[in-house]
């Protein structure tokens, strides 16, 4: 199956629902189901190959690349999107009104994961960015609109800098295809000044969306103020695509000096994110800062650049997507029932609603990196990869991990604290059906991946290898054939 | 020369984005920076003595010297994207100003409630 | 204080970029001096010669038949044929921005009155000029493969005609048909892409014959696509204008 269908179908359905408003909710569900199925069955059966758009061979045309990494990430992204859309099916409301935005977001996220062309990536980043600004503005009151505006300004500056970096790279190298550029850069054909400046600009550009310090001023407000479904998608699927785009481009055309800078920025992001998350009183803000820290960790691993560390990065990304989805859903449940999500409200919540409590434990421990859960493998990779760099870096990462474990345990104890107030006398509350279903599926996946033996992890290693080495190999083939 | 001027435009735009407080001025600074970047991209493609990349009765053969057409195609896309983002930003400003009666970013960020 | 820091950062940025310019040297590829581009090193060489698929013949205006894209305007051949996926993305950007403006602002029934009073001379003249503007817009996008311009400037000119009508007339609103036009045109573009996928095996391939370079009816699907884009952009920008002048919608 040509992976273009993953992009073309949501886009076509988005155009339809622009003028046929009444069917837009159904159309969104159809598109999400199609993408989830196509993402799993259509993509898994393909061999490593690139699909050219318009029939023009790369690098003269745009090509879509399906390698082991995309074969892993595409199904995850599409299925999570489907879950997010289905979660709020019954509550309707703004999901139906914004269904056009969700459809275009789905198309653009798939485009970011698939494309192998720098300028095409820019266009899809812009589409994803604009849908993100719109999704961020869905909260109640004007606070979400101010947060969305700030996000828009920072995001537009970022994509401007990225475009400048791409232009400089084109001026020197004469091509826009990522694989061919990887081959040219690694063989030293491009002058050092050009790779340095363009890599810096690209890091600035892609770093905005990837929540890298110092570009992540937009994250807390946006993730705390937007509405339910929007937050789910923004916090779980978007980071997957954005950090993957960051890895894809920088592993191909990045300058070595800039990679060291990326290591530094990533580590700083982790530390700042965890420290700020520690002192938050509201669960949602904690999760927002925790997202910053997770992205920082994944990007730090990309900066190190070896196959082992990129394996860890991919595992962290997927773990973050699954767990954050659960955590933000739990937070929504709580706000639904009790109206707020600060520590007092959550006292003993886990005892009243044990399913919610258990899923919280599983997702929180997975993000914190406890053994038996998926996050442990990624964290292990991160720490062992950090020993390859200077000595200060592992210390910082370990400190940050310690802080993370502490505050997640604090929240878990809050959930199961028997010293409840008047709320302890109420009957047991059952969460919604969708929550039960998705909670079951995602928790099972997290635990399964955590306890399974090494063979399951070769697929992550192959994914990382295709990112680090595979793109380069394709580029050399293109150069050889020209 | 023109490449330096376009970079100066981007620098002016960045200065505006970092120092201005009025929301509309922020959008204007963003537009100035975008113009600078677009100008730079077109200048990457200039070939001395080349003709405009259109086959016509004047330059009727494809083996004559033409200017690089690819940066022009990139700029076409970039300008339109800039228009889209500007329209969205302006509508956000209208929406915010209706409910908060101010368009100063420091006043908006420091909290306060909706005045409607 | 804030201004001084901002100015310093901006200057730092300027100097950083300047180091990358003029960096072309003999042992590595850098940015060439202004005007001294060697086109043979870039992909554009094959776009100009229309020889991506290996056909190295010369293209002559008004003479060559069945060239690769068939479009006399090389920028158009890149935008609509070689890199058509980018244009689909661009169309989507405009679409989602217009939808976003509509979601945030639109839906109102009343219209914001204008503070300028317009004399009858201006009103009458505008009613003559606006249709001329729209015809100019249609000319620009219909000849996108022969003259500079294409779908996007053509659509913008059409929207400018609409804007003129809105400014001089206090009662003018856009009709409902604009949204339908916009949606169907977008759908048509994706369908052309899917048709290319089903006919020739790749999305958005040019499956119509390309005719003689330089004629109006040439270049395969390029004039069709540009007409679609021109109408879509015109409808979209007019819709944005309409949303900005409406009032009383369901804002949050």
Least confident of A415-419, B14-18, C128-132: A415-419
CA distance B48 to chain A (A): 15
How does DSSP assign A168-230, residue by residue?
HHHHHHS--BHHHHHHHHHTT-B-HHHHHHHHHHHHHHHHHHTT-TTS-TTHHHHHHHS-HHH
Q: C94–B69: do the CB atoms touch at under 8 Å? A: no
Chains in touch with C (≥3 Cβ pairs < 8 A): A, B
**What is the reported pTM?**
0.92
Q: A142–B96: do the CB atoms touch at under 8 Å? A: yes
Q: What are phi and psi of C137, to 5 degrees?
A: -60, -45
Q: C85–A62: do the CB atoms touch at under 8 Å? A: yes
Element (H, E) at A10: helix A4-19
B116, with CB counted inside 10 A (0-12, 13-18, 19+), is exposed
**In terms of CA atoms, which chain C residue is nearest residue B70?**
C44
Which of A141, A20, C167 is CA-nearest to residue B115?
A: A141
Structure tokens at A80: 């999570």
Chains in touch with A (≥3 Cβ pairs < 8 A): B, C
Which of A357, A257, A270 is CA-nearest to residue A313?
A: A270
User: Residue A104: what pLDDT?
Assistant: 93
CA distance B87 to chain C (A): 7
**What is the percent of chain A where pLDDT is above 90?**
12
Least confident of A477-481, B103-107, C242-246: A477-481
User: Residue B74: what pLDDT?
Assistant: 93
Q: Enumerate the domain spans of chain C.
A: 2-37, 74-247
**In terms of CA atoms, which chain C residue is nearest residue B86?**
C97
Res. A423: pLDDT tops 70: no
**B12-15 long-range Cβ contacts below 8 angstroms, 24+ apart:** B12/B36, B12/C10, B14/A157, B14/C6, B14/C9, B14/C10, B14/C13, B15/C3, B15/C6, B15/C7, B15/C9, B15/C10
Closest to C93 (Cβ–Cβ): which among B10, B59, B84? B84
pLDDT (mean) for B96-114: 73
Structure tokens at A116: 């192998």
B14 touches chain A (CB under 8 A): yes
Confidence of residue B84 (pLDDT cuts 50, 70, 90): very high
Q: B95–C104: do the CB atoms touch at under 8 Å? A: yes
CA distance C76 to chain B (A): 8
Confidence of residue B110 (pLDDT cuts 50, 70, 90): low
Chain C 51-70, CB below 8 Å of chain A: which residues?
A: 52-53
**In terms of CA atoms, which chain A residue is nearest residue C33?**
A171
Structure tokens at B50: 């080349």
Distances (CA, A) of A57 to A388, C10, C90: 40, 41, 22
Q: Which of C48, C63, C156, C240 is the best residue to mutate to test the B interface, defined by the most B CB atoms within 10 Å of its own CB?
A: C48
| Cis omega (within 30 of 0) for bond into B82 | no
Chain C 151-190, CB below 8 Å of chain A: which residues?
A: 179-180, 182-184, 186-187, 190
pLDDT (mean) for A218-229: 82
CA distance C155 to chain A (A): 18
ipTM of this predicted structure: 0.93
User: Residue A92: what pLDDT?
Assistant: 57
pLDDT (mean) for A144-150: 88
Q: What are phi and psi of A108, to 5 degrees?
A: -70, -35
| Cis omega (within 30 of 0) for bond into A59 | yes
Asked if residue B55 is part of any domain, the answer here is no
- Partners of residue A27 in chain C, C-beta under 8 Å: none
- b/e for A242-277, b at 16 or more Cβ within 10 A? bbbbbbbbbbbbbbeebbeebbbbbbbbbbbbbebb
| Cα C136 to chain centroid, rounded | 15
User: Residue A120: what pLDDT?
Assistant: 92
Res. A97: pLDDT tops 80: no
**In terms of CA atoms, which chain C residue is nearest residue B56?**
C61
Q: Based on C-alpha coordinates, what's the Rg of chain A?
A: 22
pLDDT (mean) for B33-45: 92
Q: How many CA atoms lie within 13 A of C157 on its CB side?
A: 20
Range of the domain at B35: 1-46+69-96
Which of A120, A116, A95, A96 is CA-nearest to residue A108?
A: A120
Closest to B70 (Cβ–Cβ): which among C10, C43, C72? C43
Distances (CA, A) of B85 to A102, A151, A425, A480, B91: 18, 12, 52, 41, 10
Res. A50: pLDDT tops 90: no
Give the bridge partners for A49, in sequence order: A66
User: Residue B87: what pLDDT?
Assistant: 94
Asked if residue B31 is part of any domain, the answer here is yes
Closest to B30 (Cβ–Cβ): which among A145, A153, A163? A153
What DSSP designation does C238 have? Answer: H
- Partners of residue C143 in chain B, C-beta under 8 Å: none
Q: C21–B85: do the CB atoms touch at under 8 Å? A: no
User: Residue A430: what pLDDT?
Assistant: 61
d(Cα A162, Cα A159) in Å, to the nearest integer? 5
Closest to A145 (Cβ–Cβ): which among B78, B84, B95? B95
CA distance A159 to chain B (A): 10
Which of B62, B91, B71, B64 is CA-nearest to residue B2?
A: B71
Res. A400: pLDDT tops 90: no
User: Residue B116: what pLDDT?
Assistant: 41
User: Residue C32: what pLDDT?
Assistant: 73
Least confident of A73-82, A223-232, A335-344, C143-152: A335-344
Helix ranges (DSSP H) in chain B: 2-19, 23-44, 70-100, 105-109
Confidence of residue B114 (pLDDT cuts 50, 70, 90): low
User: Residue B112: what pLDDT?
Assistant: 54
Q: C34–B1: do the CB atoms touch at under 8 Å? A: yes
A286-301 pLDDT per residue, tens: 888 888 888 888 888 8
Count of other CB atoms within 10 angstroms of residue C160: 18
- Partners of residue B32 in chain A, C-beta under 8 Å: none
Closest to A130 (Cβ–Cβ): which among C19, C85, C97? C97
- Partners of residue A145 in chain B, C-beta under 8 Å: 92, 95-96, 99
Distances (CA, A) of C37 to A27, A165, B55: 49, 18, 20
**In terms of CA atoms, which chain A residue is nearest residue B108?**
A146
Confidence of residue A31 (pLDDT cuts 50, 70, 90): confident
d(Cα A6, Cα A10) in Å, to the nearest integer? 7
User: Residue A283: what pLDDT?
Assistant: 83
**What is the percent of chain B where pLDDT is above 90?**
41
- Partners of residue C192 in chain A, C-beta under 8 Å: none
User: Residue B1: what pLDDT?
Assistant: 81
Res. A326: pLDDT tops 90: no
Q: C20–A197: do the CB atoms touch at under 8 Å? A: yes
Structure tokens at A173: 């190298």
CA distance A142 to chain C (A): 8
Helix ranges (DSSP H) in A339-467: 343-346, 349-352, 354-368, 374-386, 392-416, 433-451, 458-465
Beta strands in C202-249 (DSSP E): 246-247
C81 touches chain A (CB under 8 A): yes
Confidence of residue A431 (pLDDT cuts 50, 70, 90): low
Total structural domains in chain B? Answer: 1
Which residues are within 8 A (CB) of A392 and not within 5 positions of it... i.e. 6 or more apart? none
B114 touches chain A (CB under 8 A): yes
CA distance B9 to chain A (A): 13
Residues of chain C with pLDDT under 50: 26, 250-252
Least confident of A261-265, A308-312, B65-69: A308-312
User: Residue A144: what pLDDT?
Assistant: 85
Res. B39: pLDDT tops 90: yes
Beta strands at A49-52 and C246-247: parallel, antiparallel or unpaired = unpaired
Which residues are within 8 A (CB) of C25 and not within 5 positions of it... i.e. 6 or more apart? A191
CB C86 within 8 A of CB A123: yes
Q: What are phi and psi of A151, to 5 degrees?
A: -60, -40
Structure tokens at C10: 């901006």
CA distance B1 to chain A (A): 16
Distances (CA, A) of A5 to A17, A140, B69: 18, 35, 30
How does DSSP assign A374-388, residue by residue?
HHHHHHHHHHHHHTT
Which residues are within 8 A (CB) of C39 and not within 5 positions of it... i.e. 6 or more apart? B47, B66, B68, C45, C48
Which residues are within 8 A (CB) of B104 and not within 5 positions of it... i.e. 6 or more apart? B21, B22, B23
User: Residue C28: what pLDDT?
Assistant: 64
- Partners of residue B105 in chain A, C-beta under 8 Å: 150
């Amino acid at each position: 199956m040509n992976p273009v269908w993953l992009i073309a179908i949501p886009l076509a359905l988005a155009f339809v629902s622009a003028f046929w408003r009444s069917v837009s909710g159904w159309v969104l569900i159809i598109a999400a189901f199609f993408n989830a199925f196509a993402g799993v069955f259509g993509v898994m059966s393909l061999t490593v190959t690139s699909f050219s758009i318009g029939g023009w061979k790369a690098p003269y045309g745009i090509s879509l690349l399906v390698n082991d990494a995309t074969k892993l990430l595409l199904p995850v992204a599409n299925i999570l999107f489907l879950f997010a859309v289905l979660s709020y099916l019954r509550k309707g409301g703004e999901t139906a009104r914004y269904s056009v935005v969700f459809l275009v977001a789905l198309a653009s996220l798939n485009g970011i994961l698939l494309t192998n062309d720098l300028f095409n990536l820019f266009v899809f980043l812009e589409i994803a960015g604009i849908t993100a600004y719109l999704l961020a503005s869905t909260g109640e009151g004007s606070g979400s609109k101010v947060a969305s505006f700030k996000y828009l300004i920072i995001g537009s500056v970022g994509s401007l800098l990225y475009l400048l970096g791409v232009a400089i790279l084109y001026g020197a190298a004469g091509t826009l295809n990522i694989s061919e550029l990887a081959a040219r850069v690694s063989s030293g054909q491009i002058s050092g000044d050009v790779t340095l400046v363009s890599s810096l600009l690209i890091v600035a550009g892609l770093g905005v969306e990837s929540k890298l310090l110092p570009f992540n001023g937009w994250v807390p407000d946006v993730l705390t103020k937007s509405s339910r479904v929007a937050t789910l998608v923004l916090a779980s699927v978007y980071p997957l695509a954005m950090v993957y785009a960051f890895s894809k481009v920088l592993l191909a055309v990045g300058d070595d000096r800039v990679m060291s800078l990326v290591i530094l920025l990533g580590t700083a992001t982790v530390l700042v994110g965890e420290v700020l998350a520690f002192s938050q009183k509201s669960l949602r803000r904690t999760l927002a800062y925790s997202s910053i820290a997770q992205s920082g960790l994944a990007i730090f691993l990309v900066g190190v650049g070896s196959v082992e560390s990129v394996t860890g990065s991919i595992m962290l990304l997927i773990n973050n997507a699954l767990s954050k989805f659960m955590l933000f859903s739990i937070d929504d449940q709580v706000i639904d029932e009790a109206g707020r999500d600060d520590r007092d409200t959550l006292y003993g919540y886990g005892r009243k609603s044990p399913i919610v409590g258990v899923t919280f434990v599983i997702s929180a421990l997975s993000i914190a990196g406890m053994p038996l859960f998926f996050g442990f493998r990624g964290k292990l990779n991160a720490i062992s990869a950090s020993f390859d760099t200077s000595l200060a870096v592992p210390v910082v990462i370990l400190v940050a991990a310690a802080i993370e474990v502490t505050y997640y345990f604090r929240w878990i104890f809050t959930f199961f604290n028997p010293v409840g107030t008047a709320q302890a006398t109420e009957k047991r509350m059952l969460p919604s059906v969708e929550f039960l279903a998705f909670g079951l599926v995602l928790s099972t996946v997290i635990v399964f991946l955590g306890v399974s033996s090494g063979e399951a992890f070769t697929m992550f290693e192959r994914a990382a290898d295709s990112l680090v080495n595979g793109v380069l190999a394709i580029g050399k083939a293109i150069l050889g054939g020209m | 020369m023109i490449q330096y001027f376009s970079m100066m435009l981007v620098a002016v735009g960045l200065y505006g984005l970092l120092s201005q407080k009025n929301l509309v001025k922020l959008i204007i600074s963003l537009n100035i920076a975008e113009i600078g970047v677009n100008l730079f991209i077109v200048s990457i493609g200039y070939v001395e003595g080349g003709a405009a990349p259109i086959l016509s009765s004047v330059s009727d053969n494809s083996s004559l010297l033409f200017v690089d057409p690819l940066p022009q195609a990139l700029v076409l896309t970039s300008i339109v994207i800039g228009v889209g983002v500007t329209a969205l930003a302006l509508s956000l400003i209208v929406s915010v100003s209706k409910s908060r009666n101010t368009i100063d970013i420091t006043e908006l960020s420091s909290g306060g409630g909706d005045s409607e | 204080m804030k201004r001084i820091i901002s100015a310093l950062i901006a200057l730092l940025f300027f100097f950083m970029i300047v180091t990358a310019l003029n960096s072309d040297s003999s042992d590595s590829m850098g940015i060439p001096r202004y005007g001294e581009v060697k086109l043979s090193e870039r992909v554009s060489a094959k776009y100009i010669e229309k020889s991506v698929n290996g056909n190295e013949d010369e293209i002559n205006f008004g003479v060559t038949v069945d060239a690769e894209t068939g479009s006399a305007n090389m920028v158009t051949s890149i935008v609509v044929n070689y890199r058509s996926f980018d244009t689909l993305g661009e169309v989507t950007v405009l679409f989602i921005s217009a939808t976003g403006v509509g979601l945030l602002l639109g839906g109102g029934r009343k219209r914001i009155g204008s503070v300028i009073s317009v004399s009858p001379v201006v009103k009458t003249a505008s009613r003559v000029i606006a249709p001329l503007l729209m015809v100019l817009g249609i000319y620009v996008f219909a000849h996108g493969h022969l003259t500079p311009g294409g779908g996007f400037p053509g659509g913008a000119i059409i929207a400018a005609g609409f804007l003129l009508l809105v400014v001089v007339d206090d009662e003018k609103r856009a009709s409902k048909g604009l949204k339908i036009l916009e949606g169907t045109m977008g759908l048509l573009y994706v369908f052309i892409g899917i048709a290319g996928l089903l006919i020739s095996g790749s999305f958005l391939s040019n499956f119509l014959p390309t005719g003689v370079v330089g004629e109006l009816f040439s270049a395969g699907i390029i004039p069709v696509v540009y007409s679609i884009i021109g109408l879509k952009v015109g409808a979209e920008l007019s819709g944005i204008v309409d949303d900005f002048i409406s009032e009383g919608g369901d804002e949050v």
